[in-house]
Amino acid sequence: MQAENKTLLYIYDDVTEYGEFDWNEWEYKDSETSAKYFAEKLSDIPEGQMIELHINSNGGSVKEGVAIYNLLKQCSNKKVGIVDGVAHSVAFLILQACDERKMCLGTTALVHDMWMYCSGNAAQLRKYADDLDDMMEANRQVFLERANISEEELIELMQNETYLTPDKALEYGLIDEIMNKKTETAGNEEILEKLSSMQRQLNSQESFRQQIAKMKERQQKKPEKNKILELFKGGTIQGKI
């Protein structure tokens, strides 16, 4: 969908290679969340036109998600990703391909270790586990490219299957902005400026009070000086001031 010099793309379902099975045609329908679908859509977008990607997905196929991520990364157009509902699992990984990553209020992200269905003998199952470790190492590099946390911290988050609020995702450097918070931020800046102004006024008043106090102190010392001068004049004290 194109609107005012930008193209809107949506991941509003699980990321899958195939769509639903058509029992009438006895074949799978095309998936609108597959890497193949995104490759076709991206090839039709004119150079220089902004891409706005909206996400509301529980994740899905790692294979398809990583391919979509790389297709977006290879695209030279500016990309803005917006989480409208949830960006869980590989859907959150896809968001990392965008130049600007945003989450709306009330949305969530989920990071966790990937898993797979497998069967086989003991040796084969051990190999699957080793393969998953290698896949997870590659997966983490996507997030660590722009994150504000260490790999050890990210491993812990993923092992704990951690849900992230927009505030937490922003703190960890996994998004760039929380949408609809600009007004609040502007209000906070205005309040801070007013507080700073009040503090400057208080500091000025404090300085003025200090000047008054010094003047009073000088006034209180004058009688003593006058008394001493009188004693000199009367010859009571010999010396010089």
Last residue of some domain: 142, 157, 180? 180
In which element (H, E) is residue 157 found?
A: helix 151-159
Last residue of some domain: 153, 180, 207? 180
Q: Could you give the CA distance from residue 97 to residue 142 in angstroms, rounded to a whole number?
A: 9
Q: Decide the pairing of beta strands 177-178 and 100-103.
A: parallel
What sign for the dihedral angle of Cα 179, 185, 187, 190?
A: negative
Mean pLDDT, all residues of the chain? 85
More confident residue, 43 or 207: 43
Q: Is residue 1 part of a domain?
A: no
pLDDT of residue 21: 87
Domain coverage including residue 187: 181-241
* Residue 206 confidence (pLDDT) above 90: no
Q: Is residue 154 part of a domain?
A: yes
Q: What is the pLDDT of residues 119-154, one digit of tens each?
A: 999 999 999 899 999 999 999 999 999 999 999 999
In which element (H, E) is residue 141 found?
A: helix 122-144
Last residue of some domain: 180, 205, 224? 180
Buried b (16+ CB within 10 A) or exposed e, 11-47: beebbbbebeeeeeeeeeeebebbbebbeeebeebee
Q: What is the pLDDT of residues 38-95, one digit of tens each?
A: 999 999 999 999 999 999 999 999 999 999 999 999 999 999 999 999 999 999 999 9
Total domains in the fold of the chain: 2
Q: Is residue 86 part of a domain?
A: yes
pLDDT of residue 241: 42
